Amino acid sequence: MTAAGLRRLMTRAYLAVFFGYLFLPLGIMAAATFNASRFPTVTPWRGFTLDWFRVLAEDQRMWQALGTSLLVGAAVVAVAVPLGLAAALLLDRLHGRARTLLYAVMVSPLLTPGIIIGISTLVFWKQWFGVTGGLFLTVVAQSSFIATYAMLMALARLQRFDTSLEEAALDLGASHWQAFRRITLPYLMPAAYSSALIAFLQSFENYNTTLFVRGVETTLTIYIATKVRTGLTPAVNALSLVLIALTVLGAVAYEIMRRREARGAVAAEESA
């Protein structure tokens, strides 16, 4: 075997191991959804069934927890993304030691354990404002570190921004708000969309911080963790399979639209 053939073989073997490592657990989880066993496992195989989707549809507590997670995720996006963009704009305009110090302060929540953030948020708001655990504190606690993701993504985008565009707009008579709205904000929109998606996913899967500030509310991760202790059924696998299917369909739809737009742009250039 030649060196090139050996290299191709090793590359294919690596890709097989890599994708197997990523997708084999998901495949096992999906297979357990159709096992008649009352435990979420593929062995022993008790027979093919779709009953766990019916159990999932009838589990009102799980759907309530899912609705709570979606509500909290949307609120975190609404809070964390504007905060992150504002912090990125501030850091981009600063220089010297002030920028280094402020950057360290803004990044510190991301490096702090979620348990510490949850406990400190609960103690602070309860002691100073009399606010106990609930959806409000859940959004506040999650946004305190999720906003850092938005800040980092916007800051990376701003490093490639040509500030002379803003200066030109100001020289032409535009106000600072008009220059921001017409030039800076449209440039930051890709980073805003990406950070919104990341913020929502980080909120949706968060457990450590949410556990201490949720009060009597139950998010999906808290519900699943409770079911693990009291008795987990493949209905959770069914929900995971539905979420994976929706994610894949969304990704495929996005890719189809992106390729159509790319073909349309190429056709427009050729016709011009």
**Residue 93 has what pLDDT?**
83
Give the pLDDT of the chain (272 residues) as one tens digit per residue. Answer: 677 778 888 988 999 999 899 888 888 888 888 888 888 888 888 888 888 888 888 888 888 998 999 999 999 999 999 999 999 998 888 877 888 888 888 899 888 888 999 999 999 999 998 888 889 999 999 999 999 999 999 999 988 888 888 888 888 888 888 888 888 889 999 999 999 999 999 999 899 899 999 888 889 889 888 877 777 778 888 888 888 888 889 888 888 888 888 887 777 777 76
pTM listed for this prediction: 0.83
**Residue 259 has what pLDDT?**
86
**Residue 272 has what pLDDT?**
64
The per-residue DSSP string of 185-245 comes to HHHHHHHHHHHHHHHHHHHHH--HHHHHH-TT---HHHHHHHHHHH---THHHHHHHHHHH
Q: Are 157 and 192 in contact (CB under 8 A)?
A: no
Q: Are 146 and 80 in contact (CB under 8 A)?
A: yes
**Residue 210 has what pLDDT?**
92
Distance of alpha carbon 31 from alpha carbon 48, whole angstroms:
9
Q: Count Cβ atoms below 10 Å from residue 45 Cβ, excluding itself.
A: 13
**Residue 14 has what pLDDT?**
92
3-state secondary structure of 39: coil
